[in-house]
Amino acid sequence: MSEIDQRRQRLTGARFYAIVDTGYVPLRRILAVTGDLVRGGVDLIQLRAKKQTEEEITSLGHAMRTVIKSDGPLFILNDHPHLVPIIEADGVHVGQDDLSVAEARTRAGTDVLVGKSTHSLEQAIAAEREGPDYIGVGPIYKTGTKPDYVPVGPGLIAQVAAAVRVPQFCIGGINEQTLPEVLVAGAKRIVIVSALLLSEDIPAYCRRVREQIETIPL
């Protein structure tokens, strides 16, 4: 099987996506936190470094790749598609104001995954036409991680699920407490940022979240 098909197959089974956001994790703790997420058994780990230079992101990415083994979670870089082959990431994630999916694929390489953020039903439908490997849907709830965004509410989850076939990861304000409502609303795949990064015991938090997700079949 080709490398992109292997990555797509791993993505198809993925339910739980974590983001290492340097807004929450001091640089000296990035590798420890990444190791905790790997031990917790998340399916994807994204590096989201909004304030770092490309040099810093390259060095963080190389270091994270040593912790995220090839049989571990998929490793996704937020933005900077041209750095994806350099840090040997499995994919890139772009937002609504970033490059098109096609352009991101050209820069990141044809054998890696491309994900795209969406914030409404219309954006989800339009994004699917661009041919990403997955989309993000959110923020479901108000979140300090993206404070300027209006939450879409859990009601959007079923609407998007009915309208598109590309795998959808629900994101924004999801934590152990809000997860039941998100799952009842129809979410099959979720992303957690702050609740996970700020938890006292990341592997234990991951396991409790996974247990909840797995009560719902894909």
Footprint on this chain of ligand TZP (rule: CB under 6 A): 117, 136, 138-139, 143, 145-146, 171-174, 192-194
User: Minimal CA–CA distance to 81: which of 123, 30, 47, 130?
Assistant: 47
Distance in angstroms (rounded) separating the CA atoms of residues 127 and 173: 22
CB 33 within 8 A of CB 20: yes
Residue 192 binding: pick among ligand TZP, Mg ion, none (C-beta 5-8 Å cut-off by kind): ligand TZP
Write down the least CB distance from residue 151 to ligand TZP, Å.
9
Q: Is 95 an interacting residue with respect to Mg ion (CB under 5 A)?
A: yes
User: Minimal CA–CA distance to 172: which of 147, 140, 205?
Assistant: 140
Joined together, the tokens standing for residue 90 give 């499995």
Length of the chain: 218
Q: Is 36 an interacting residue with respect to Mg ion (CB under 5 A)?
A: no
Residue 98 binding: pick among ligand TZP, Mg ion, none (C-beta 5-8 Å cut-off by kind): Mg ion
CB 143 within 8 A of CB 21: no
What one-character DSSP code corresponds to residue 210? H
Q: Amino acid letter at 143? A: T
Write down the least CB distance from residue 1 to ligand TZP, Å.
31
CB 70 within 8 A of CB 53: no
Q: Which is nearer to ligand TZP, 68 or 78 (CB)?
A: 78
Q: Is 98 an interacting residue with respect to Mg ion (CB under 5 A)?
A: yes
Number of residues located near Mg ion, criterion CB under 5 A: 3
Residue 101 binding: pick among ligand TZP, Mg ion, none (C-beta 5-8 Å cut-off by kind): none
Residue 64 binding: pick among Mg ion, ligand TZP, none (C-beta 5-8 Å cut-off by kind): none
Q: Is 21 an interacting residue with respect to Mg ion (CB under 5 A)?
A: no
List residues near Mg ion by CB under 5 A.
79, 95, 98
